[in-house]
Amino acid sequence: MRAEVLRRSGDPNAAGRLLERAESEARELGARVLLQQALGEQAALYMDQRKWEPALIRLKEQERLCRELGDTRSLAICQGNRALIIGKRLHFPEEALPIAREAYRLADEHGLVTLAKRLKPIVEHAEWWIDAEDHRDWF
């Protein structure tokens, strides 16, 4: 997608405008596959900018669409991104852990080996933080 090229090349404003247009057109056409892709790209752009709430809003809608469409790969990526934001950025590991586990399970069960390897550390990070919080009285 051209927006990803713009995002990675350091022109987030142009990427944002392009993605907003893609989202709008996908909604108008009822093109759910294109809409979930545009939402995922918008979320990635917001994550690059450390704008966690707008990213989570897009990811939540993308999650719904991925479930409706049966798009396991995109759902695993979406859930991994949600868990990453919720756990590592907003510091709610208890909320992030089941999301991260679902993402990892989806990738693992569907043979998405590279994706599963990228998701495993998100699960482990949430587990570590929860365990550390359970034992903070030890220190």
Residue 71 CA to residue 90 CA, distance in Å, equals: 27
Lowest mean pLDDT among 2-16, 74-88, 96-110, 121-135: 2-16
Residue with the bigger pLDDT between 114 and 138: it is 114
pTM over 0.85: yes
Looking at residue 50, which CATH number applies to its domain?
1.25.40
16 and 42 share one domain: yes
> How would you classify residue 30: left for phi > 0, otherwise alpha for psi between -120 and 50, otherwise beta?
left
Structure confidence by residue, pLDDT tens digits, 62-105: 999 999 999 999 999 999 999 999 998 899 999 999 999 999 99
Question: Is 31's pLDDT higher than 80?
Answer: yes
Q: Where are the beta strands (DSSP E) in the chain?
A: none
Q: Rg of the Cα trace of the chain? A: 16
59 and 114 share one domain: no
Residue 85 CA to residue 11 CA, distance in Å, equals: 23
